Amino acid sequence: NVDAVRTATVMTGGYGAEYAHAGAGIISLDTQSGDDHWRFGTTNFIPGVSFQQGTHFGNWYPRLTFSGPIKKGRAWFAEAATLQHTFHLVKELPAGQNTHSQWLGDNLLRVQVNLTPRNILQGSFLLNRSSDPRQGLGPFSPLSTTTAYGAHRYFVSVRDQLWIGQTLIDVGVAADTGSAENNAQRRSPYIVTPSTTSGNYFQSTSQTSRRLQFVGNITTESLSWLGAHTLSVGWNADALDFSQQASRTQIDFLRADGTLSERSTFTGPAAFRLSNTQAGGYVQDMWRPVKPIVISAGVRADWNRLIHKYLVEPQIALNWMPLEDGRMKFTVSWGEHYQPLNLSTIGMGFDQQRTDVFFDSTGQVPLGPPVVSSFIAPLAGLSQPRFRSTAAEWDAKLHKSTFVGASFLLRESRDGLAWEPLPDGIFALKDNRRDRYVAGEIWVRHSFGENALLQVDYTRSRASSTEVLDPTLANLILAPQQPGPLLWDAPHHFVASGWTPIPIWGLLLSGFLEYRTGFPFSIINQQQQLVGSPNLVRFPDYFSLNLGVEKRFRFHGHQWAVRLSEINLTGRDNPNSVVNNVDAPNFLSFAGGQGRAFTARLRLVTQH
């Protein structure tokens, strides 16, 4: 529940050695724990309405918060719940078969007890549930090919903070468990043509996961030696478990004239279970040699049971505030970070094998023997994947209400895991992949008084890999690994947002504008083979402008708000689906995406 979040911190570089498994970055959420006052809040409890091809039950995100004392001055609780209904319309499909609604819900209960003024005990329980009975509905994926998706996840944690003298000891234990089911609508054959799909999806899966985590940190008081030092040491241990069961039917690939081109079947055990143990520790020094400079240096060591190798990760960062008033800051950092293993990816080495039979132009006579493909995961001898990150950032406050900044980030992976094709239809897990992401970003934020704000951000980036292909049982591309841009590569990304009151009936005007380069994709042919280089072609550039007006008023002692919004005001086509089969008559036809839409919402926010 966003109303329960007190602070949200995102770090893409320069974070300390205390964070385990931080290959890509850190998101840190600090939530409410309650106090000596009873507090109750509700937001968005009245559903929205969507006017797209008629009137529909639109997006609805009601939130509830409730907190107060268990025993004043000593123990408190905070309860926060959210319900989310998201409406999707696929305008290319027939009416009655072109909508689906996704339901999600979460509940967070947090309790804090001050056992003594120097010993704080905290506990939390987080539940997440989601449901989508028509997952996968799209312009080229009609209703029959969708799956019924349902998932739940539980997170339980206990944390104890104890001060002994001027030293802080922080220990905690957590359990994260979840399950997900994704079931095909029926058991009819799944049919793939160069332009679209039909029948029922070929695969139903059931997955469960569990992670038990133990963490501990010790932080000293400030020590004096050539400046001020704060030392930290810590450790972590994790036990992970993942299992999957699958049921698969055949896939028929048809040519544009309707003849059978290829048939895929699956054989072998369709269930597996994997487990792993991870452990690590760190030591870090926060050193302030002189007042405007802070240097953080640390080192981590991580190990996991599957690969049986230690990874030593040095990290260093420097913060410099050249002005006494703190209006300007420079940060530079470099570090090496462990990338945790994905058990679901490794699990493909213990899943079924796929057999593909190719047919002549009549669709009756096989062309040669079947092609049998299987995945193997020889973990012995693999290296531990890791990232090396170099970052630099400049922040400044200009005048009273203007903030500007610029940053540079280079993140390079080493010993990345990828499936590489070998002779006889075998895909083996190797550690030869290298990824590279480089980005430069500039931003400015200006406040026009207390009720108006404008912020602009531009990022120039490039994301690439030496082994960009990601073969799976469901999407098997018979081609050697090749370099290319990653699927999320968007060299140009511009975002602007803001709000301001306007002198018409006391209305509040808000806007959000986004532009980015279109994402890349690959071209295949009739035999599901790669044509040209991977991710050679791109979707059209994305552009969207949303504008909204809101009128606030008081009624029965509460503040209400009526909001009218125009989504994608310019009506620009921002497709998210494409026909990428070179043998299709409508090759490179784009479809899908959010068209122009009008929404209305009545909102109540009340606090007691």
In tens, the pLDDT along 473-532 reads 888 887 899 999 999 999 999 999 999 988 888 888 999 999 999 999 999 988 888 999
- What is the Cα–Cα distance from 346 to 341, expressed in whole angstroms? 8
Instruction: Find where tokens 């994790």 sit.
Output: 238
**Residue 288 clears pLDDT 90, i.e. is over it:** yes
Residue 608's pLDDT band (boundaries 50, 70, 90)? very low
Quick one: pLDDT at residue 475? 87
DSSP class of residue 581 equals B
CB 315 within 8 Å of CB 336: yes
CA dihedral 568, 573, 578, 582 (to 10 degrees): -160
Residue 352's pLDDT band (boundaries 50, 70, 90)? very high
**Residue 291 clears pLDDT 50, i.e. is over it:** yes
CB 81 within 8 Å of CB 73: no
- Degrees, nearest 5: CA angle 530-531-537: 105
At 166 the three-state DSSP class reads coil
CB 509 within 8 Å of CB 499: yes
Mean pLDDT to the nearest integer, 285-290: 93
**Residue 49 clears pLDDT 80, i.e. is over it:** no
Quick one: pLDDT at residue 478? 78
CB 304 within 8 Å of CB 276: yes
**Residue 118 clears pLDDT 70, i.e. is over it:** yes
Quick one: pLDDT at residue 339? 87
Residue 326's pLDDT band (boundaries 50, 70, 90)? confident
pTM (2 d.p.): 0.88
Residue 606's pLDDT band (boundaries 50, 70, 90)? low
50-99 pLDDT, tens digit each: 777 777 787 888 899 999 999 999 999 999 999 999 988 888 889 888 88
Quick one: pLDDT at residue 604? 66
Quick one: pLDDT at residue 426? 93
Residue 58 structure tokens:
């639109």
Q: What percent of the chain is modeled with pLDDT above 70?
A: 99
By mean pLDDT, which of 21-25, 141-145, 156-160, 276-280 is the weakest? 21-25
Mean pLDDT to the nearest integer, 540-545: 96
Residue 46 structure tokens:
């009245």
381-422 pLDDT, tens digit each: 899 899 999 999 999 998 888 999 999 999 999 999 999 999
Q: What percent of the chain is modeled with pLDDT above 90?
A: 70
How many CB atoms neighbour CB 503 within 10 A? 6
